[in-house]
Chain A
Amino acid sequence: MSNRSFRKFKDRLAYGLGVLCVVLAMFPLASILFEVVRNGLPAISVGLLTRPTGNITDPSSGIGNAIEGTLILIGMTCLIAVPIGLFAGIYLAEFGDNKFGRTIRFLNDVLAEFPSIVIGILAFSIVVVAIGHFSAMAGAVALSIIMLPIVTRTAEESIKLVPSSIRDAAMALGIRRWRTSLSIVLVTAKDGILTGIMLSIARIAGETAPLLLTVLGSGFFFSGVDQPIDALPLRIFTDYKNSNYPSALAQGWGAALVLVVLVLSLNLGVRFLTRGRSTFARARA
């Protein structure tokens, strides 16, 4: 009988430890959100959000250029990564049931876990060396390499979820396969694909390491895709390096708040819109 109660005790203990682990993991998250809001909110003002940085020691400098830069980088990255990722996903879902397809799928998963700094070196070696200086273009190339595997994987999964009856119906109407894929299957799968794209945007919006090696950062508004550009994560990093100026530090927290709001609203938005979908993108993005 004492054996039985000891077993019950162990069961309770395991349950308690599980609760403890969950609480321990949620504590940093709560603290991060709290600190970002506490330090960032007082710094937020219309001026901060709209003015360019210019001189970092100037208390009236803003992060308008960084917000603009992040949005431009996201746009350029999507232009590169979404078409490639979509087609690669279509290939994996429609034609990928062979050795080549399995290899691609495997390499795609490996690419998704690449250290982002290594991707930064790659984009540096290709684009920055070719142009001769740091540029927004190089940053977009680096970010698209990060985005590509996520888009590919979610596109493949969403396309595979399209019921074969829809495909059969298209076939029965005599519609060609490419037409079926593009106008029927892809449209049916668009929710899942959009989810993947939004989650990957949330992921690349916060990437810093590859940008350090490719776009460098700048204190001014956008001046061309072949010129350095600023981005929110880079702005936070620069402000951290200048954190002996209180105004720079406050600006950094403000930028962090804007970035966290952007990333979390994308994440929560997607999760709210698509409950109980593919766990892949959620786990990796």
Chain B
Amino acid sequence: MAVSEEARPKQGKTPARARLASLRFPRRFSCDDVFEASSIIFAGVIVLIIVVTSVFLVRGSVPVLESFGTGFFTGKNWIAAAGSESYSALPFVLGTLVTSAIAVAVGVPLSMGIAIFLAEMAPWSVRNPLSRVIELLAAVPSIVYGLWGLFVFRLWIRDYLETPISNYVGSFPVFQGTPLGLDFLTAGLILAIMIIPTVSSISNDVMMAVPASQREAAYSIGATRWEVVRTGVLGYARSGIFGATILGLGRAVGETMAVTMIIGNIPALPASFFQHGATMASVIANEFSEADPGSLHLSALIGIGLTLFLFALEINVFAQLMVWRVLKVRGGSVE
């Protein structure tokens, strides 16, 4: 049977269709190769997006960089009024740094407490439900945080935190000004709330990835639960927790709407926690749709976008490397 089938083509009896088919699909170029190639192309879209983003941001900020040079990063003023235009990213860079620093300083210790409690100490029956609830904090849209921040959170901060501080230590330079609640401190604190789910859930994952033998060793020499965490778990999970912190920082740096709604939006160099300010993200959100196409103002805003992009890129690349190194240990099953 097989012989006669193979012999057939030699006798010149190959049907035209089959010959055509073999032309169209030579053996070395099968459907599977087409499938693999197209999936590579789609995966390449991700690379393309990052490349295109950098290209457009650089191209868009060329005019402002040509006009102001390094002054764009060292100047003090941001004046969009025609005639006396002057653009500097410095107030916004500093504003972002101040708010993110507050967010990390307040949010990370809280998140660590949550992660340690949920990963190591809480009764088993509440661990899962509680971590789900904490994660819901990440599901609330940023604009809703902004609305709540403006009409509820701001008043708490103003009445119960800023007014007392202002009354007792108002003479310190960093606490000067009238506490209105629309300032760096409130913006930083709302960012602290917003980074909690990110930092705590990744820290939680990292701690769960610590091998049980670490804990067993500590328990076997009579350690209390807290000592187990301190000696056996935290040291082992250190770099992953650090990575989670940096990821939280990245979130805080890029967060836009909630900050825009409660920071007051005055482009001034930060001098006091109780001062109206602006961040890189908030100035873009506020002024972008008002800037005329092709104007220097628009270019300046894109320049700030470029700065923000570079900040976020560095922070995230660094953080991914830290987290990735730790979670890889468990064979990638954690993430």
Interface residues of A (CB under 8 A from B): 7-8, 10-11, 13-15, 17-22, 24-26, 28-29, 31-32, 35-36, 39, 83-84, 87-88, 90-92, 94-96, 100-101, 103-104, 106-111, 113-122, 124-126, 129, 134, 145, 148-149, 152, 157, 176-179, 181, 202, 205-209, 212-213, 216, 233, 236-237, 240, 252-253, 256, 259-260, 263-264, 267, 271, 276, 278-280, 282-285
Q: Which residue of B lies closest to A95 (CB)?
A: B36
CB atoms of A26 and B133 under 8 A apart: yes
Contact residue among A24, A104, A124, A149 (Cβ-Cβ distance under 8 Å from B288): A124
Known: A91-B39, A113-B316. A264 touches B139 (CB 8 A): yes
Find B114's partner among A11, A18, A129, A213 (CB 8 Å cutoff). Answer: A18
Q: B134 to chain A: which residues have CB within 8 Å?
A: 22, 25-26
Q: Which residues of A contact B122 (CB under 8 A)?
A: 18
Whether B139 pairs with A267 at a CB distance below 8 angstroms is yes
| Chain A residues positioned under 8 Å from B2 (CB to CB) | none
B20 on interface, CB distance cutoff 8 Å: no
For residue A200, give the distance in angstroms from its CB to the closest CB of chain B. 12
- Tell whether A283 pairs with B138 under 8 Å between CB atoms, given A32-B148, A253-B147: yes
Q: Give Cα A259–Cα B146 distance, bound, in whole angstroms.
A: 14
**Bound-complex Cα distance A178 to B44 (A):** 19
Point out the residue from B40, B57, B111 that lies within 8 Å of A95, measured CB to CB: B40
Nearest chain B CB to A59 CB, angstrom units: 20
Q: CB distance A121 to B60 under 8 Å?
A: yes
**Docked complex Cα distance between A205 and B257 (Å):** 14
Known: A206-B141, A212-B289, A233-B141. A88 touches B57 (CB 8 A): no
**In the complex, which of the residues B57, B196, B205, B309 contacts A279, with contact meaning CB atoms closer than 8 Å?**
B205
Query: A206 with B202: in contact, given A25-B137, A111-B50 (CB under 8 Å)?
Result: no
Instruction: Return the chain B residue nearest A157 by Cβ.
Output: B335
Chain A residues whose CB sits within 8 angstroms of the CB of B220 once the complex forms:
none
A282: chain B residues at CB < 8 Å are 135, 201
In the A-B complex, list the 9 residue pairs whose CB atoms are closest, starting with the nearest: A206-B141, A115-B254, A18-B117, A21-B113, A178-B35, A87-B42, A91-B39, A209-B256, A14-B226
B121 within 8 A of A: yes
Assess whether B142 is in contact with A263, with CB atoms less than 8 Å apart: no
B52 on the A face (CB < 8 A): yes
Smallest Cβ-Cβ distance to A181: which chain B residue? B35
Known contacts A18-B114, A110-B316; 14 additional CB pairs below 8 A are: A7-B227, A29-B136, A32-B145, A91-B42, A95-B40, A111-B46, A121-B284, A213-B289, A240-B147, A259-B141, A260-B141, A263-B140, A279-B335, A285-B139
Q: Complex Cα distance A53/B224, Å?
A: 61
On chain B, the residues within 8 Å of A114 by CB distance are 53, 254, 309, 312, 316
Q: A87-B38, A283-B198 in contact; A18/B141 too (CB < 8 A)?
A: no
B181 at the binding interface (Cβ < 8 Å): no
Are B148 and A29 in contact (CB-based, < 8 A)? no
The distance in angstroms between the C-alpha atoms of A88 and B334, with both chains bound, is 21
Which A residue sits closest to B141, measured CB to CB?
A206
List the B side residues contacting A256 at CB < 8 Å. 143-144, 147
Beyond A206-B141, A212-B289, whether A118 also contacts B52 by CB under 8 A is: no
User: 5 interchain pairs (CB within 8 A)?
Assistant: A15-B117, A21-B113, A117-B305, A118-B309, A260-B140
Do A110 and B320 have beta carbons less than 8 Å apart? yes
Nearest residue (CB) in B for A112 is B316
Q: Are B49 and A206 neighbours in the complex by a CB distance under 8 Å?
A: no
Closest B-chain residue to A81, C-beta based?
B45
Cβ B42 vs Cβ A29 within 8 A: no
Give the interface of B toward A (CB within 8 A).
Answer: 30-32, 34-36, 38-47, 49-50, 52-53, 56-57, 59-60, 109-114, 116-118, 121-122, 128, 130, 132-148, 150-153, 193, 196-198, 200-202, 205, 224-227, 229, 247, 250-251, 253-257, 261, 281, 284-285, 288-289, 293, 301-302, 305, 308-309, 312-313, 316-317, 319-320, 324, 334-335
The answer to whether B43 touches A91, judged by C-beta atoms less than 8 angstroms apart, is yes
Please give me the residue from chain A that is nearest to B139 by CB atom: A267
Chain A proximity of B215: nearest CB distance (Å): 14
User: CB-nearest residue of chain A relative to B309?
Assistant: A118
Bound complex: CA of A82 vs CA of B10, how far in Å? 49
Q: How far is the CA of A123 from the CA of B73 in the complex (A)?
A: 25
A216–B50 CA distance with the chains assembled, in angstroms? 24
Q: Are A110 and B257 in contact (CB under 8 A)?
A: no
- Residues of A near B153 (CB, < 8 A) are 28, 31
With beta carbons under 8 angstroms apart, the residue of A205, A212, A283 that contacts B197 is A283
* Chain B positions within 8 Å of A145 at CB level: 49
Q: Closest Cβ of chain B: how far from A285's Cβ, in Å?
A: 7
* Least Cβ–Cβ distance between A212 and chain B, in angstroms: 6
Q: Is the CB of B308 within 8 A of A117?
A: yes
A202 to B319, CA, bound (A): 25
Verify A110–B35 contact, CB threshold 8 A: no
B53: A residues at CB distance < 8 A: 114, 118-119, 122
Across the interface, do B335 and A252 meet the contact criterion of CB distance under 8 Å? Answer: no
Whether A10 lies near B60 (C-beta < 8 A) is no
B117 touches A206 (CB 8 A): no
Establish whether residues A88 and B316, one from each chain, have CB atoms under 8 Å apart when the complex forms: no
Highest count of chain A CB atoms <10 Å: which of B35, B112, B133, B197: B35
Q: Is the pair A88, B39 in contact by a Cβ cutoff of 8 Å?
A: yes
In the bound complex, residues from chain A placing their C-beta under 8 Å from that of B118 are: 18, 22
Contact B39 A90 (CB under 8 A): yes
Closest-by-CB residue of B relative to A268 is: B136
Check if B312 sits within 8 Å of A115, measured CB to CB: yes
* Contact partners of B302 in chain A: CB under 8 A: 121, 125
A271 touches B110 (CB 8 A): no
